[in-house]
Structure 1
Amino acid sequence: MNWHLWRIIPLICFITLVVVLIVLPNEVHAALNCSDPGVICRSGTLADNETWTAGNVYVISGSDVTVPAGVMLTIQAGAIVKFNLGRSMIVDGELVVSGTQASPVYFTSIRDDTIGGNTDNDPALPAAGNWGRILFRSGSSGTLTHLELRYGGGADWWWWGMLQLDTGATVSLTAATLTSASSCALSTTPQNDFTLNNMSPASFTGSIYNGICVYEGTVNANTTWDETEAAYVPLNDITIALGSTLTWGPGIVIKPSWREAEFLVNGSLNATGTASQPIYVTSPRDDAIGGATDNSTELPGPGQWGRILFRSGSSGTLTHLELRYGGGADWWGWGAIHIENASPSIRLCTLRNNIRGLASYGASANPTIERCRIYGNTQYGVFNGEPNHWISAVNNWWGSASGPNDPNPPGTDGDYNNGAGDHVSNFVRYRPWDRNLPFRISVPFIVR
């Protein structure tokens, strides 16, 4: 290096230091000050019952706040709770949020200056995932009324809900608004559920999944899903154990998150829809049912979720259930309803716009498929993969008064029909068929 540069370098460093000392105080904003009027910083485990009151901004700051077993945290109408980046609230005891329509309670990011002012003295804008979650662990409870949650969910690969339930937690949520989560608005295990009141799909906006995400897992006890105010979004496979029953209540909407997501039935699945409150299992891109669950502008299509698989020894009663856009990848041979040596009852249902509506395998498979609407499926309305074993699919409507399309000439299974409806495979008994729509389904919009 040139000898003269060695003499210049110290001078450059000195000038740089002077500039930093002069400019930096004007550019850096003061950080969160827990001594500011109206700002109360909280962290760690609560020692006793607490009440957080209106007119204050409570900041979850240095570490997560834990409400231990036997302790109640009450948050009154008009209080504001802001989470520092990455912080959460863990509930082992009881959380009571008593907002009102005029004075809701807010849970939001420390960067959200639209509520409670510029608490952290920083111009940075809030964003989804700024804070983590309110986690209700097993044995805890919550009664949450008139609240708004914004910008939570943590890192998007964790798939946390802004409110998350472990199995054994009990939480009711009334007149709540959930917006801008990095992944799920709500999340729970398959053997648990929220109680939602005075809400609708419009209560959920701006999140990756505007609904109730259900984690992969097993239903080991009789369980009911019956919330109609938000779509259920299974994130992966849900297994129903032998000896256990999962019941779907009237009017619920289920949108599995991807094409391999399945319901694996070893026990029993009962879908108890009604004519006025049918049950839907459909794609997360299907905005016509249950609102814009995934905020995608892409259109739904066949194979965007997997199947309901009835395994050998399982059972099921499916009534007024509509399955659309299922069947997984077209080379797998899955049906939206897939049967392996089982005999579920399927009545007054709709199988439409799947790759295969129903697929049956095994010599012990004897499903009842009756008074259903089966149309718009790209490969088969009903497929039987067991040669010389007949299954019954009589008195159904196949999308045309001329019946299903069974192009095989006599001699294969002894029957054929050149109808304009959905394809059927060999060894499916479809005569007589219904020449008219057997029933009408209405789209549910239910607020409780």
Structure 2
Amino acid sequence: MDKLIIYRREVMTNINKLLAVLIVVFGLLFIGCEEDPSGPDQPGTVEGIVTHLDTGAEIIGAIINDGTSDVAISGAGGTYSFEIEAGTYTFTCTAEGYNLQVMADVEVDAGESTIINFQLEPINIILINSNIIGNVTWTNNNIYLIDGEILIHSVLTIEPGTLIKFKDGANWVIQGAAGGLIIAEGSTLQPIVFTSWHDDEHGGDTNGNGDATEPVRGDWDDINIHGDNNSSIFDYCEFYYGGGYYDNYVLFLDPNTAVSITNCTIAHNQGEEGALNAYAAGSGTIIQNNIFYDNIWPLNINANFNLDDSNIFHDPDTRSDINDHNGILVEGDFDGQITWSETEVPYVLQEGEYLIPAGNSLTCAPGVMLKLDDGVDLWINGTINVEGTLAEPVIFTSYKDDTVGGDTNNDDTITSPNPGDWDYIMIQGINNSSSFNYTKFYYGGGYYDGYTIYLDVDTSVNVTSCSFIYNTGSDEPVLDASLAGANTTIIGNVFYNNVKPLLINGSISLDSSNTFHNLENPSQSNIKNGIFVSSSFDIVGNISWEETEVPFVLSAELQIDTSNSLTLADDVILKFDGGSIWYQGDNLINFDGSGVWFTSYKDDEHGGDTNGDAGNTVPADGDWNGIYNAGANPEYWEIWDNILYDEFHR
């Protein structure tokens, strides 16, 4: 019995020892599972002190930025502290009256403290009131205060972060012929700023009047850049509150200059002629990746240089903050192979007549908008290639059209667009192979209530997948191909809310792909909804007419001579406003096809109210001459059952 008790005690002792070991093991495991206070998910701390570089005095109110946003402000004793996720940062520090200091590639470790002490360099104010003669570099530890008109006859290099303020009415003239050149290359963190001396946000209260004045548009005048091929550079620059000289511009590029303006911000300026006025600039001009907002007109260009889609015409921080006239003014004729790609705002043509001479071209990228003012026309002796897409069509419309590109004329709803607001596009030149693909044309045809597009003698233009809406086309149809060449292509277009939609000649075949009503509202068609055939051409070649939605309308004698033919698809209707067809007996093909009719222009029963008079006229025998078989011997007038209201066979 005693042995059994001793054995049981030993077993219990061993069990207790085992339990103790297990408790220790599980305890260690539990401790190992606790969160490491210095783990990768924990923030790091950045702290330090901000002092004056020369005196060591603490600076209160300095702003520390992590490269994307402000994260701290120095307090009592110039100290600051903040937490931030672990990573690599570029920190900056600035305070009123001091230069920006940059600390790049700073490693912040999780759960650790990183010490960064900033020593800020004070800014000096240097008054500039005389011309610049010798080459000079302006540094970012100064504010340069411009007083009066300053002529620059040499190379002025401006360091990143430099601040230049202009007194009221002050301006620069860069005299390229005398060697004047500006090299102003800032950076994302340290832009070069050109602003008003009333602007306390940049460099503090430079005019020393507290908050008695605020900066406004036009406080200072402008920067004029002169000289052939002047290759001045403005990169990462900011231009504020200029344009005071007759409210015209803040930057003017003189004839034949080749200035590069990139990554700049142009805001709060006047600009009746464009805050950046490059209307006379040379072909080497570069305007890319700039931001324009809160100007009158942001930009004025000519047609000597390309413009891509990189510029922005609103405040990136406030999308609704745009320009008064949010568009790109265009002046002058085209010179070179020009491409327009900007899609945020329209190109605005106001000058009257624009010319693309032979050997020159304009290409419009998908999504481009062109607004044309009253009486504007575009003459294409060179080439125009307008390549929209279904999702991003190119649009030609009225300057008053607020539904495209917004209220560009900045009159709220005082004016509205109407047919004939602008004139036309005239395409000339034998075998001119210009093209319009997925292009929309609104409110054209102002020249004698005529065409919106005119294809001149023997052109070979491609017009496909386009829309012609709210144009005039009363005297001559909206798309006038009356003299166009045999290689003209008119396929897949939509016409509605015009007077007359289309005019062709006898050398052009036409399939059934075009539409003569609004696809979303079929009741919207054209007033005189037909395809009009020119009286100047006979049938030339083996031509086929297949359109059945609307009739073909002839107003004069149409000859189909030997070796030529006209083939009609089933259900094609030909209406005659006078005139006749003369054929050779075998070259008017499918004249007796199902649904084919030859009838009067006044006949509303066949093909609808083509003459657009709402039934005020009725058809009668003798409305047109008839169909004459000139190949028979003897010749005679046909008496087919599908001939109605002619003169000779009834």
TM-score by length of structure 2 reads: 0.49
Structure 1 contact 51–73 (Cα < 8 Å) conserved? yes
Matched with 2:358 is 242
Matched with 2:149 is 63
Map residues 385-400 of structure 1 onto 2, 5 A cutoff.
392=510, 394-400=512-518
Asked if 1:369 corresponds to 2:473, the answer is no
Structure 1 contact 191–219 (Cα < 8 Å) conserved? yes
Q: How many correspondences in the alignment? A: 375
State the AA in 1 paired with 2:128: C
State the AA in 1 paired with 2:381: N
Using a 3 Å threshold, how does the CA distance of structure 1 residues 39 and 354 change in structure 2: closer, same or farther? Answer: farther
Asked if 1:87 corresponds to 2:87, the answer is no
Using a 3 Å threshold, how does the CA distance of structure 1 residues 303 and 345 change in structure 2: closer, same or farther? Answer: same
Matched with 2:304 is 191
Matched with 1:355 is 472
Structure 2 contact 393–439 (Cα < 8 Å) conserved? yes
**Distance of 2:186 and 2:287 partners within structure 1:** 12
Shift of the alpha carbon at 1:382? 2.6
Matched with 2:289 is 174
Shift of the alpha carbon at 1:321? 1.3
Structure 1 contact 40–59 (Cα < 8 Å) conserved? yes
2:420 to 303, 309, 313: 303
Matched with 2:437 is 319
Map residues 46-445 of structure 1 onto 2, 5 A cutoff.
47-48=134-135, 50-51=137-138, 53=140, 56=143, 58-66=144-152, 71=155, 73-74=157-158, 76-77=160-161, 79-82=163-166, 84-85=168-169, 87-88=171-172, 90=174, 92=176, 93=181, 95-100=183-188, 105-110=192-197, 115-116=202-203, 119=206, 123=213, 126-127=216-217, 131-132=221-222, 135=225, 138-139=228-229, 140-145=231-236, 147-152=238-243, 154-155=245-246, 160-165=273-278, 166-181=281-296, 184-195=297-308, 197=310, 199-200=312-313, 207=323, 209-216=325-332, 218-236=333-351, 237-256=353-372, 258-298=373-413, 299-313=416-430, 314-328=432-446, 332-341=448-457, 342-356=459-473, 358-360=478-480, 363-364=483-484, 367-377=488-498, 379-383=499-503, 392=510, 394-400=512-518, 405-406=529-530, 410-412=575-577, 418-419=607-608
**Partner SS for 1:47:** coil
Shift of the alpha carbon at 1:317? 0.7
Structure 1 contact 148–177 (Cα < 8 Å) conserved? no
**Distance of 2:244 and 2:469 partners within structure 1:** 34
Matched with 1:15 is none
Matched with 2:630 is none
The 10-residue stretch of structure 1 (141-150 or 273-282) with the greater mean CA deviation from structure 2: 141-150
**1:188-216: CA deviations, max 9, x gaps?**
21111345536255679665532321112
Using a 3 Å threshold, how does the CA distance of structure 1 residues 65 and 304 change in structure 2: closer, same or farther? Answer: farther
The 10-residue stretch of structure 1 (142-151 or 345-354) with the greater mean CA deviation from structure 2: 142-151
**Partner SS for 1:246:** strand
Shift of the alpha carbon at 1:345? 1.0
**1:56-103: CA deviations, max 9, x gaps?**
3x44432155475xx464352473543642635548545444253x76
**Distance of 1:229 and 1:136 partners within structure 2:** 30
Shift of the alpha carbon at 1:177? 3.0
Q: Percent identical across equivalent pairs? A: 22
State the AA in 2 paired with 1:371: G
**Partner SS for 2:327:** strand
Larger Rg: 2
Structure 1 contact 372–396 (Cα < 8 Å) conserved? yes
Using a 3 Å threshold, how does the CA distance of structure 1 residues 325 and 85 change in structure 2: closer, same or farther? Answer: farther
State the AA in 2 paired with 1:358: V
Extract unaligned runs of 5+ from structure 1: 1-35, 424-448
Extract unaligned runs of 5+ from structure 2: 1-122, 250-271, 531-550, 554-573, 580-597, 613-650
State the AA in 1 paired with 2:464: R
**Distance of 1:390 and 1:195 partners within structure 2:** 37
Structure 1 contact 133–160 (Cα < 8 Å) conserved? no
**Distance of 1:267 and 1:55 partners within structure 2:** 52
State the AA in 2 paired with 1:340: D
Using a 3 Å threshold, how does the CA distance of structure 1 residues 399 and 143 change in structure 2: closer, same or farther? Answer: farther
Using a 3 Å threshold, how does the CA distance of structure 1 residues 235 and 279 change in structure 2: closer, same or farther? Answer: same
Shift of the alpha carbon at 1:278? 1.8
**Distance of 2:173 and 2:404 partners within structure 1:** 33
State the AA in 1 paired with 2:140: T
Matched with 2:586 is none
Matched with 1:431 is none
Using a 3 Å threshold, how does the CA distance of structure 1 residues 199 and 206 change in structure 2: closer, same or farther? Answer: closer
**Distance of 1:283 and 1:263 partners within structure 2:** 14
Shift of the alpha carbon at 1:50? 2.8
Structure with higher RCO (Cα < 8 A, 6+ apart): 1
TM-score by length of structure 1 reads: 0.69
Shift of the alpha carbon at 1:157? 7.3
Q: What RMSD in Å do the two structures reach over aligned CA positions? A: 4.0
**Distance of 2:227 and 2:392 partners within structure 1:** 32
Structure 2 contact 136–157 (Cα < 8 Å) conserved? yes
Structure 1 contact 89–133 (Cα < 8 Å) conserved? yes
Using a 3 Å threshold, how does the CA distance of structure 1 residues 317 and 87 change in structure 2: closer, same or farther? Answer: same
**Distance of 1:324 and 1:54 partners within structure 2:** 55
State the AA in 2 paired with 1:271: V
Structure 2 contact 307–339 (Cα < 8 Å) conserved? no
Structure 1 contact 147–175 (Cα < 8 Å) conserved? no
State the AA in 1 paired with 2:480: S
Structure 1 contact 309–337 (Cα < 8 Å) conserved? yes
